[in-house]
Structure 1
Amino acid sequence: MARAQDFQGGDPIVEARRAFFEAGRTPVGQVPGAILQSWRRCRGLGLAANARPAIEPIDAPRLRAMREQHERLWRLARAEVEMLAADAANTGSIAILTDAEGWILDAEGSAAFLDKAGRVALMPGACWSEARVGTNAIGTAIADARAVEVRGGEHYAAPHRILNCAASPIFDPYGRMVGVLDISGDASVAQVHALGLSQLAVAHIEHRYFDEGIADADLLRVHSQRALLGTAREGLLAFRNGRLIAANRVGLALFGLERTDLGRASYDALFDGAVSRLRDDGALHDRNGRVLYGHVDEPTRARRARAATPITVSPATSALDADAPLFGDAQVADLERARRVLDAGIPVLVLGETGTGKEVFSRELHRRCARAGKPFVAVNCAALPEGLIEAELFGYESGAFTGARKEGSTGLLRQAEGGVLFLDEIGDMPMALQPRLLRVLQDRELSPLGGGKPVKLDFALVCATHRQLEDAVAEGRFRADLYYRISHHIVALPPLRASDGRDARVRTLWARIGQGRRLSDAAHDALVRYDWPGNLRQLVASLRTLVALSEPGSEIGVDALPAYLRARLPAAMPSRPETVAVAGDLDAITLSSMRAAVEACGGNIAQAARQLGISRSTLYRRLGADPRAS
């Protein structure tokens, strides 16, 4: 049985332990204050300092039930545990997730250290509360409600001196502690950045808790630096009936508040000006005159948007969809080059504005490549709820989390076996998930959530985004190593306004869609000369609308065109299409078209967006409209 005398000399902790445990003195200044306070609490509980705590991990069924009980925490933290575990494996340490009582839900990282940790029951199913095992990073972080590091002999129980641990508590939006994220390693190896890494990971987890919105509340995303908006370092504050009901730690720190202020602090006490100022101007002053930038979320509307189906799994194909736009000569050449690259096992990255046909191009690439006889699996990374992306992509074992199918799920990567995986809007993939995708692309194998044997993978990868990924890499919003992995061959699809042969494109599409109806010359010219800010998607939607609102065999004239096209007719009928470009800056033309559409629809944003073939959020953003408008 270990005693304080068993510790090696030359370390201040040795003298501190002797003073406290043997002489009954208080070693003030010899150990951190948090450690000394914890030692006092543990001694008050009657814990033995020199004995190995009796820790009995619960069995597998009870652990599974415990994970289901804490499904939301386990799901939202999973990506961070994976990311930390990958780094921890290289430093001989492990990443640990516990609930708010110290029960370990997950432990991953160095296989060698997992075995060593198992000797002191530092494993899933064990409870590491202070009351059970004495001073340790998990239990002491829970007791103090703050991040803490416990090194070697600072642990209350002498047998735990083999550990160096750093833990940070996790709080939900309402200030309730829901768990702890810990990094533990061998005490003989210095873990210089462990505490900082755990705190950073927790910030991402806590930020993710707000993604589903706060019911019946205005959620303000603010910061004094614009560049930090949209990151885990932005302040999040939710107000209901003028009262602060939820906030992350950054939001609280911006105003010097504590979690105990939730439910008591008022909006008027913090901000100078109505919340509408933030919607209209993107900026608001606090009561100290400081300018805070940001915007306001409408959580219920955001949740409905997320409900859109983000995944399609198409079977093998050999023919082009009859409704798909034809490709011009330049795109046919792009397709052939991309086909050769894809058949060589090299990923293809398709860039282009919203509506330029990135998925259509990718499906045609699948049709032409050597994998045409296998599935095409399309995943919209922007539409899939962040907490479910990992489970949907990588699959999970039976009982991995609440709501999981009883038989588990193979995951989309395995559904694409032998075929093509299309990751649309890859630029919107959560930062925390990018390392695992990178490892899958490198190793071509995956392990399902909840355990299971690694599975070898065989698929071709096509990614697409409307974002400038190089800028995202420079700003730290997209991993550079993942970007270089997926961008060996880039295809840039031009916007419709900049593409050649718009006249031929309109004629070809109308021949497919028109069902025998005729376009008057004036209507055809108006369609050709319009700049189509929503690109091909908007054009196709407009043509289909013309068909739906006309009689078979009829001729469609200018009066049947959408209002936003008719509004442009007096200024959009030059003899040569090229003169449209000199009439003004393209952005100005686009904005003018959008304003005309909104005006023609009587201010109805939703209707104008449908006519333009773009999303309401895009229209709001470009026009700076109030999201509460109809």
Structure 2
Amino acid sequence: MTQHADKVYSLARKSSQAASSPVAASWLRCMNVHKLSPDQKLSPARLTDQEFRDASERSQVMVEEARDELDRLFMMAGRSGHALLLTDGNGVVLDRRGTAGDEKDFRGVGLWSGTVWSEASVGTNGIGTALADQRAATVSRDQHFLSSNTGLSCTAAPIRDHTARISGVLDFSTCRDDANELTMTMLSHAVRDAALRIEGNLFRRAFPMARIVMVGSGYGALLAVDRDDIVLGATRGARQALGLDESRLAAGIPAADLLNEGEPTRSADLLEAERAALRRAISRNNGNMSRTAEALGISRATLHRKVKRLSIS
């Protein structure tokens, strides 16, 4: 333990290391911000039953939308001696998966519901560092700040809500001494993909009446668009891809304008969608243009112009 503590003190105090390494930067935060020492014997803080119920209630929607993903991910990789954890935005473990044979070990190291895995609580770790850096993090064995946690390996990815704010973390952790870099890399990709799918679930739930548009080929980049083609919301992936921020979203930007900025071919797709919608409206009104115009809330003259522009016979 003394050797690990000496390593932490030595590297964390080198500004070049802290600037280039997320782990060293986290070690520095642990010492300077959280006032921790690597040789402290700390266990994750544990909430009272009432505190845990309150935390679970605040994150109820996320827990519900994550449940199927947790089951799927655990069936895929969790039976290899890993604990799968879902935390809130404070690092509190709200839900978990683990095999019966590993329960004693997991409970002993704090990989359990109601424990707090923030950096302030237990120093550098997958969950706490993912929250602090607001990005995926893998922390293996002696990369942990506390000497008492160097038997752990963990990989975590943040989960963002429909406003792109971090609401939780998905994490795979193990206390097996044979966890290798290849295994952790594979688990890291699986965790990140699952976190994005949970974000998609949360996004769709937040905009149940909207049309959900996928931006590009990434399933993590989604727009919610209302019936008037106005963008109601965007995931972080879509915000990054399209240069969106809260002010642009609040202004009510049309999806057609937004998508045409980077993808000119979208205009043809939108015209086809408008043509199909107009044909359906005319059909529902048995070809009566006056009733169609009234149903659409436009004038008969406007309807005729649209019919001509879209070449509807």
Please indicate, yes or no, whether the TM-score normalized by the shorter chain is above 0.5. Answer: yes
Distance in 2, Cα, partners of 1:596 & 1:247: 32
Asked if 1:222 is matched to 2:221, the reply is no
Q: Per-residue deviation at 1:41?
A: 0.5
Q: Per-residue deviation at 1:92?
A: 1.1
Distance in 2, Cα, partners of 1:108 & 1:126: 14
Q: Per-residue deviation at 1:192?
A: 2.9
Is the contact made by 2:18 and 2:28 (CA closer than 8 Å) also made in structure 1? no
> 1:177 is matched by which residue type in structure 2?
I
TM-score, scaled to structure 2: 0.74
The aligned runs of 1:119-138 (5 Å cut-off) are 119-138=108-127
> 2:265 is matched by which residue type in structure 1?
V
> 1:188 is matched by which residue type in structure 2?
D
Match of 2:127, SS? helix
Asked if 1:263 is matched to 2:247, the reply is yes
> 1:87 is matched by which residue type in structure 2?
M
Is the contact made by 2:207 and 2:224 (CA closer than 8 Å) also made in structure 1? no
Q: Per-residue deviation at 1:137?
A: 0.8
Q: Which residue of 2 aligns with 1:194?
A: 187
Distance in 1, Cα, partners of 2:287 & 2:107: 67
Distance in 1, Cα, partners of 2:216 & 2:99: 40
Is the contact made by 1:88 and 1:95 (CA closer than 8 Å) also made in structure 2? no
CA deviations over 1:170-201 (Å, ceiling 9, x no partner): 11111221111111113531223111111101
Match of 1:174, SS? coil
Distance in 1, Cα, partners of 2:67 & 2:12: 43
Distance in 2, Cα, partners of 1:132 & 1:172: 24
Q: Which residue of 2 aligns with 1:600?
A: 286
Q: Which residue of 2 aligns with 1:67?
A: 56
Match of 2:205, SS? coil
> 1:152 is matched by which residue type in structure 2?
R
Structure 1 unaligned spans of 5+? 6-16, 275-283, 296-593, 606-630
Q: Which residue of 2 aligns with 1:26?
A: 14
Q: Per-residue deviation at 1:251?
A: 1.2
Is the contact made by 1:161 and 1:187 (CA closer than 8 Å) also made in structure 2? no
Closer, same or farther: CA 235–19 of 1 in aligned 2, 3 Å: same
Distance in 2, Cα, partners of 1:24 & 1:145: 20
Match of 1:52, SS? coil
Is the contact made by 2:12 and 2:18 (CA closer than 8 Å) also made in structure 1? no
Closer, same or farther: CA 120–240 of 1 in aligned 2, 3 Å: farther
Distance in 1, Cα, partners of 2:81 & 2:192: 19
Q: Per-residue deviation at 1:160?
A: 0.7
Asked if 1:86 is matched to 2:75, the reply is yes
Closer, same or farther: CA 53–249 of 1 in aligned 2, 3 Å: same
Q: Which residue of 2 aligns with 1:36?
A: 24
The aligned runs of 1:148-167 (5 Å cut-off) are 148-167=137-156
Is the contact made by 1:102 and 1:128 (CA closer than 8 Å) also made in structure 2? yes
Is the contact made by 1:166 and 1:194 (CA closer than 8 Å) also made in structure 2? yes
Q: Per-residue deviation at 1:111?
A: 3.1
Q: Which residue of 1 aligns with 2:261?
A: 287
Distance in 1, Cα, partners of 2:61 & 2:78: 25
Identity of aligned residues (%): 25
Distance in 2, Cα, partners of 1:30 & 1:212: 40
Is the contact made by 1:242 and 1:267 (CA closer than 8 Å) also made in structure 2? no
CA deviations over 1:535-581 (Å, ceiling 9, x no partner): xxxxxxxxxxxxxxxxxxxxxxxxxxxxxxxxxxxxxxxxxxxxxxx
Asked if 1:246 is matched to 2:236, the reply is no
Is the contact made by 2:12 and 2:24 (CA closer than 8 Å) also made in structure 1? no
Distance in 2, Cα, partners of 1:64 & 1:108: 18
Distance in 2, Cα, partners of 1:73 & 1:54: 26
- Please report the RMSD computed on the Cα atoms of aligned residues, expressed in angstroms: 3.7
Closer, same or farther: CA 240–156 of 1 in aligned 2, 3 Å: farther
Is the contact made by 1:175 and 1:246 (CA closer than 8 Å) also made in structure 2? no
Closer, same or farther: CA 241–29 of 1 in aligned 2, 3 Å: farther
The aligned runs of 1:150-549 (5 Å cut-off) are 150-185=139-174, 186-190=176-180, 191-214=184-207, 219=211, 221-224=213-216, 232-237=219-224, 246-257=233-244, 261-264=245-248, 273=256, 285-292=259-266
- The count of aligned residue pairs is 277
CA deviations over 1:425-474 (Å, ceiling 9, x no partner): xxxxxxxxxxxxxxxxxxxxxxxxxxxxxxxxxxxxxxxxxxxxxxxxxx
Match of 1:180, SS? strand
Answer 1 or 2: higher relative contact order, Cα 8 Å, separation at least 6: 2
Distance in 2, Cα, partners of 1:168 & 1:109: 18
Is the contact made by 1:39 and 1:134 (CA closer than 8 Å) also made in structure 2? yes
Q: Which residue of 2 aligns with 1:401?
A: none
> 1:145 is matched by which residue type in structure 2?
Q
Is the contact made by 2:157 and 2:191 (CA closer than 8 Å) also made in structure 1? yes
Larger helix fraction of residues? 2
Is the contact made by 2:13 and 2:28 (CA closer than 8 Å) also made in structure 1? no
> 1:600 is matched by which residue type in structure 2?
N
Structure 2 unaligned spans of 5+? 271-279, 293-313
Distance in 1, Cα, partners of 2:110 & 2:259: 52
Match of 2:213, SS? strand
